[in-house]
Amino acid sequence: MATVPTPAGTSALLLDIEGTTTPITFVKDILFPYIREHLEDHLSTHWEEDECKQDVHLLKKQIEEDMKQHRACPVHTVDETVHTDEEKAIREVVDNVLWQMAADRKSTALKQLQGHMWRSAYASGRIKGEIYQDVTPSIRRWRDRGLKVYIYSSGSVEAQKLLFRYSVEGDVLDLFDGHFDTTIGLKVDEKSYQRIAERIGCRPDEITFLTDVSREAKAAEEAGVNVLVVVRPGNMELTEEEQAHYNLVTSFNQLELTGQV
């Protein structure tokens, strides 16, 4: 397995989750189906609780924003089984959430609700976060060499922490120095990476970002961040041009640290 050197001067590693630290199948086949299966029951049970009210409020604000921007929205059909105003409101939220998921939306409102739903599933042991076997030993090695390690994912910070706290390897949350989600900006926006650098307290060129998504890699690169593209089973295939442009890694074990103490 060929080694890939990290750029000299790297002081922080920024990691994506889906397709990078964690198999895409875990998200698509376990996490997302859990939401679809339990969404209506979750809303019905917690509808009057403050946390659920906040989740619904954010979703409604997102709908308003979508309408202002003339984005597509789900079409509500008449459902004869719905009789009360609460049932109607819940059904509309369900329709919107399922529509956003089908469209692979990355809205903060959606990700916050999902994180709150996954919390009980993780805590009860119904779900355990999956991590590639090369991930935790590599992060420990990086930290021993003095690097900081951060997560940047479209999933909410809470959802990120749940995955690593209740992982198949136990609680490995202490391996990370911080977490970022879409509240700092979308992953395809270069300004998001500039904000992360400011938050971490270093220059963009002192960060190396690992992701499997070329659009994210491009945005990070435009912000001055170093990029390594992760190639894992099931990840989206890269074009020949992308393969030639980016340094590729199939395992974290390939990273050779250069210039760190």
Q: Are residues 108 and 160 in the same domain?
A: no
Structure confidence at residue 69 (pLDDT): 79
Last residue of a domain, one of 124, 150, 172: 124
Q: Are residues 92 and 154 in the same domain?
A: no
Flag whether 187 is marked binding: yes
Strand order in the sheet with 226-230: 178-180, 148-152, 12-15, 207-211, 226-230, 247-249
Q: Are residues 12 and 78 in the same domain?
A: no
Q: Are residues 188 and 245 in the same domain?
A: yes
> Average pLDDT of each block of 10 consecutive residues along the chain (261 residues)?
88 98 96 97 96 94 84 55 78 93 92 94 96 98 96 96 98 98 96 98 98 98 98 95 96 84 46
Structure confidence at residue 259 (pLDDT): 59
Residue 47 lies in a domain: yes
Q: Are residues 184 and 207 in the same domain?
A: yes
Q: Are residues 153 and 250 in the same domain?
A: yes
Residue 214 lies in a domain: yes
Residue 139 lies in a domain: yes
CATH at residue 115: 1.10.720.60
Flag whether 37 is marked binding: no
Q: Are residues 119 and 148 in the same domain?
A: no
- Domain of residue 73 covers 29-124
Structure tokens that stand for 186 in this block: 């979308």
Q: Are residues 164 and 93 in the same domain?
A: no
Give the containing element (helix H, strand E) for 152: strand 148-152
Flag whether 177 is marked binding: no
Structure confidence at residue 80 (pLDDT): 44
Flag whether 41 is marked binding: no
Structure confidence at residue 153 (pLDDT): 97
Residue 240 lies in a domain: yes
CATH at residue 251: 3.40.50.1000
Structure confidence at residue 119 (pLDDT): 96
Structure confidence at residue 43 (pLDDT): 96
Give the chain's domain count: 2
Q: Are residues 248 and 135 in the same domain?
A: yes
Q: Are residues 134 and 86 in the same domain?
A: no
Residue 233 lies in a domain: yes
Structure confidence at residue 83 (pLDDT): 59
Flag whether 156 is marked binding: no
Residue 261 lies in a domain: no
Q: Are residues 86 and 105 in the same domain?
A: yes
Structure confidence at residue 74 (pLDDT): 64
Last residue of a domain, one of 100, 124, 148: 124
Q: Are residues 13 and 43 in the same domain?
A: no
Last residue of a domain, one of 96, 124, 152: 124
Residue 235 lies in a domain: yes
Check residue 122 and give left, alpha or beta (phi > 0: left; psi -120 to 50: alpha).
Answer: alpha
Q: What's the rounded Cα separation, in Å, for the pair 132 and 64?
A: 39
Give the containing element (helix H, strand E) for 55: helix 50-68
Flag whether 11 is marked binding: no
